[in-house]
Structure 1
């Protein structure tokens, strides 16, 4: 029996919940209320008469201090976070704000402060109404002490984090980390664990049927296990045509459906129409791209930050140079991908071929590979264009591309060389000072 939800779908939903700022505070509020009423349990335990007696007035005093201070701190932390989001939107790019919202340190801090406020209010109210006996008061005192310790530790950690929240350097690091996670996931799931697509034009001539969506937006997730299950139940193969990050419209096919001739059954158009809704639901489409399953989106957001840094109003080539370093790390990591030359499998040894087969878990679904040329274009073109007149940026680009061109992955190496050629041409047209041109020539490695 198939799992009710795939691992990829679960990861996608978890990531979506992390972007909702209310989820953790609500969870902490529920836990805080539960903790207060847990103290009542101590009154009915046999050990209750052996517990120390705590003056209830002292506990109420502690709770009053917490109640009066936590709301102020929670309000302050929320205001600080909102200011950081606005700052990040202005100084880097609005596309990075979702990563700041999902930041665990900030969410945990806000949640802890709100949870401590709710705990203190509920505990103070119950204590003043004689809800607890001596044992309950003692346990409430212990819980209050624990909450105080958690609040202090959280505040210290949050102060260290809030100093960098919304800064360009911190935002670049968060975007790079998000892109790295997406690349790591794609490396472990080449073609999203689907198989190599056939010649689609030939399949269309043979009667493969396209499926479309009425929505307009970006593909955020393709649930390959769900598509595989649908194909198995309908004696068909599904040939996916879009990847996470692609922009889709009602006239663009999401996939083609090929009947399985080996079963002796042909899919009728009516059968497709009746069940295509299930298959279409495997494609999550939204107004914005998502970092979670889209490696290219992280590269694009970094490029936006770099392009803004190179604008005349900002004039910050240092940030662009830092982002070029991020690209070098990310694309070097991408060069370690499995199944690089999957279309030339005859050149691979049997051990590597067996490994590739293990990675293709969903044999009824074919998926196009992520295009490395598109990744290089997303990453380097905006910075090469806007920084062409800055010799320091052009030199750093050429150094990065030279390093990438020497990697053993032919796919990455070829694209690095092609990008270096275009970068050199752009800079040569923009630079006018002779010494800058000489420096550019010195660092151009394709001579």
Structure 2
């Protein structure tokens, strides 16, 4: 259940309605508070201090009506521009990148500021009264009202207007900046490196992975991608049942009914004890698409997708692929310097064994997946070989360095079949140089 709540919360934060809804509620509360001050206190001090010119009912109504209409129009324009940018990015960089733009806080906060300013102005506008205005009471009697101009609320609306104008300037800069390919790749690369540090914080490499085991299977009841796993909930299930749980899947894997999520084994032996399968199963959240939560491979795949699209014959942009290779190299270097074991030193009594992902798997997922496209471009192939060599140079583990150099060998072998003439000579010279540096 915890995993499903986590996925739901991430989906809510990634939606376009969350921030505007929260800001709109906040604007309504703020307007109610400022109106209460206007009703219960003397706001003449605003005019005495020269902060604003105190307005009459007509001018106050005109100002608030104008601002409310303008904010609604700007919000509509902002939403249209955002959708156009998202459509462009999805078509150019790949549909997998759609989530990155949907989760962009700058776009959602900009929309939220305009909508909240509109809500504030409308709520204040409805309270303005002219002298002698008549309304109908509860008993049907006519009641003559006195003039009311909420000057303090009007002052707050001026502040919100200034904020909205600043937000519009920011938005007009943010949209073109956010869809630049270098910015897109940088955001993915930095997020990948950050997630590597979160998932594999240990750099000493001294932890030995505990091997997986077989036992009573915990099977999936639904088809979908594993979006999130609640490891704390699995720990509780294992402790309460007096057993251990060994995962048989990773976040990002696709499962269908009957496939094994994990195995449970009692401390008393293979045949002893029992446990609540449904409780253990609820620790896995399955959905219709992969997410970057707990899944490094998703972000690696995004870099690979952009690189391969850039190298496709229809686009033929090796420089974008080179940028993707550089960030892939930086992430691979981080992985190469870490213990790829989820179990931490202070988790000596952990009863959940996660499925191990090897360094060679990450190398193949990144550089290996791009190999076929990179090998067709002499420029990209040369940079890929250089990136692999630079990555290997900062890794102390000899086994991992050799795995990287094996990828360089495979890339050169692929380039032999894809390139000829001077193009191949360029790649071969770089490959020989890399071999010499690796010693």
Shared fold, TM over 0.5: yes
1:335 is displaced (CA, Å) by 2.7
Does the aligned pair in 2 maintain the 1:85–1:100 contact within 8 Å?
Answer: yes
Query: Normalising by structure 2, what TM-score?
Result: 0.85
Q: Secondary structure at the match of 1:27?
A: helix
Counterparts of 2:5 and 2:395, CA distance in 1:
35
1:404 corresponds to: 391
1:368 is displaced (CA, Å) by 2.2
1:446 and 2:416 aligned: no
1:112 is displaced (CA, Å) by 0.9
Does the aligned pair in 2 maintain the 1:180–1:295 contact within 8 Å?
Answer: no
1:211 and 2:224 aligned: no
Counterparts of 2:354 and 2:335, CA distance in 1:
18
Gap change, CA 1:371 and 1:318, over 3 Å in 2: same
Does the aligned pair in 2 maintain the 1:116–1:147 contact within 8 Å?
Answer: yes
1:105 and 2:99 aligned: no
1:373 to 339, 356, 360: 360
Counterparts of 2:167 and 2:331, CA distance in 1:
32
1:162 and 2:175 aligned: yes
Does the aligned pair in 2 maintain the 1:197–1:368 contact within 8 Å?
Answer: no
Q: Secondary structure at the match of 1:231?
A: helix
Does the aligned pair in 2 maintain the 1:87–1:167 contact within 8 Å?
Answer: no
2:21 to 17, 26, 29: 26
Q: Secondary structure at the match of 2:286?
A: strand
Counterparts of 1:126 and 1:365, CA distance in 2:
60
1:28 is displaced (CA, Å) by 1.2
2:250 to 243, 249, 252: 243
Q: 5+ residue gaps in structure 2?
A: 48-52, 136-144
Q: In proportion to residue count, which structure has more helix?
A: 1
Does the aligned pair in 1 maintain the 2:129–2:148 contact within 8 Å?
Answer: no
| 1:18-65 C-alpha deviation (Å, 9 max, x unpaired) | 211111111111111111111122146566575548224333232122
2:211 corresponds to: 198
The within-5 A match list for 1:45-444 is: 45=40, 52=47, 54-56=54-56, 57-128=58-129, 137-188=150-201, 196-200=209-213, 204=214, 208-261=215-268, 266-268=272-274, 272=275, 275-337=276-338, 339-340=339-340, 356-358=344-346, 360=347, 363-410=350-397, 412-433=400-421, 435-444=422-431
Q: 5+ residue gaps in structure 1?
A: 344-354
Give 1 or 2 for the bigger CA radius of gyration.
Answer: 2
1:334 is displaced (CA, Å) by 2.2
Query: Normalising by structure 1, what TM-score?
Result: 0.84
Q: Secondary structure at the match of 1:55?
A: coil
Gap change, CA 1:58 and 1:436, over 3 Å in 2: same
Provide the alpha-carbon RMSD of the alignment: 3.0
- The number of aligned residues is 412
Counterparts of 2:35 and 2:333, CA distance in 1:
58
Does the aligned pair in 2 maintain the 1:221–1:285 contact within 8 Å?
Answer: yes
Counterparts of 2:106 and 2:117, CA distance in 1:
16
